Amino acid sequence: MSTQVPGLSTVVVPDNITVHLGAPNQPAENVTVPFIDYVKNVASSELYPTWPESALRANIYAIVSIALNRIFTEWYRSRGYNFDITNTTQFDQAFVPNRGIFDTIDRIVDDIFNDYIARQNQVEPLYAQFCDGRVSICEGMFQWGTVDLAAQGYVPYEILQYYYGDNINIVRNAPVVNLEETYPGVPLSVGDNNQYVLLIKMALNAISVNFPAIPKVYPINGEFTEGMADAVRAFQEAFNLPETGVIDKATWYEIRKIYVAVRNLAQLTSQGILVSDIPPDIVTEIEEGKVVPRVQLVQYFLNVLSAYYNSIPAVDIDGILGPNTRTSIIEFQKTMGLEPTGIIDDATWNSMYNNILGILRALPPSAIALPALLFPNVILREGSEGPSVFIMQEYLAFISSVVPAIPSVTPDGVFGPETRAAVTAFQRQYGLNPDGIVQQATWNRIVQVYRELRFGVQRNQGQFPGNEIS
């Protein structure tokens, strides 16, 4: 039986996309426009038509990928919204209704509007984060930096690799279909046998890894058995839905939402967050709207918690302490019986830290940082900021305490000259190209050396239990 359900197990380009003209939780108009026109509008709003064509194409690939990621994961619809994406750059991409389209961009988008970026061996379109690189800094692509790279002769694929890593592909000519919501239109129940049952069965089995109360369902086929009904009821009980054992629309989208959350959790932890790496303290007073690497760590924590507590909304990991992150912090505080201030004070941090520690310790080893999967989404170099930089600095700080040839580095989430010096020294020490840039080979070697030195030292000192998750 084929599992190729368009828009659910395969990536397709929809005829239309619905854009919310405001922040997700703010009342605003929804507009539905042809997908190709949406891409042209965003590109004309974000880019300059005089940029080199290689830079424009690289940016347009990123714009398409972000939109398709939101659609494929049903990021907003699985949360109860009736739109696919917003036009608020804090969350998504700039879209200006009825704006003019630049001729250069019009021509390029006609050529590549159904091409997108994906990690190798992954179906999901890459959430190809980008920013201008001048006023705002992010862990993704710098738009003005693409201009400089294009001037140096980089082709679009090389520009994308520069920012997102070598392990990406440009998937070309995705089919264009009249795509509505993925819910099959009628509830699924015992006796049904179809592709939708198979896909939900696989999703439930993935969710059960982090929610052991949900039994795994076998065999993996399209038959809706009594055993699957038991798993559905367990899921419904865990997420406060009527325990019917029937997959109605509400249950369908809750499964979709939790599946995406759990999958993202596995991806985040596999990129280097270890139980032993969670820092003991954090900045408590942060100016609202300011990008601070430690805020990204709090946002990561909130996303993990959102998979376990329905009351805590997930947030984008953008390092900005904006209204959505404040709201999520407040909901966490309410859930834990704390004063709902929206500020990460000592009581809030301790509660968040202890909850995260308990969750990560309960996860199976397959969901926690494995060496082969540790490389972050982007290459790290001087000027980079965020949790990946912080983790890498933590690794180097420990290594430098054991290997005198590597200078000390202070973990702060900002890749500055001190960090570059430590990276360069590490690369010389371990036979790598000493360019001060953390690409996959350097990252993997840092992780390998860190784990060997740290875990070896701790075991020798009797401080590392043999059954600790690693």
Structure tokens at 1: 């039986």
Whether residue 165 sits in one domain with residue 80: yes
What confidence score (pLDDT) does residue 157 get?
A: 95
Domain boundary pick from 177, 206, 235: 177
**Domain assignment of residue 188, yes or no:** no
What confidence score (pLDDT) does residue 410 get?
A: 81
CATH number of the CATH domain containing 442 = 1.10.101.10
How many folded domains does the chain comprise? 4
Q: Residue length, the chain?
A: 470
Residue 292 Cα to chain centre, angstroms: 18
pLDDT in tens, 55-88: 999 999 999 999 999 988 888 887 788 899 999 9
**CA–CA separation, 295 and 311 (whole Å):** 20
Q: What are phi and psi of 404, to 5 degrees?
A: -60, -25
Whether residue 439 sits in one domain with residue 335: no
Nearest CA to 68 out of 113, 100, 119, 99 is that of 113
454 pLDDT tier (thresholds 50, 70, 90): low
**Domain assignment of residue 5, yes or no:** no
What confidence score (pLDDT) does residue 180 get?
A: 61
Buried b (16+ CB within 10 A) or exposed e, 22-42: ebbeeebeebebebbbbbbbb
Has residue 181 got a pLDDT over 80? no
What confidence score (pLDDT) does residue 211 get?
A: 78
**Mean pLDDT to the nearest integer, 143-164:** 94
Structural domain harbouring 228: 195-257
**What's the pTM value of the predicted model, to 2 decimals?**
0.53
Whether residue 405 sits in one domain with residue 438: yes
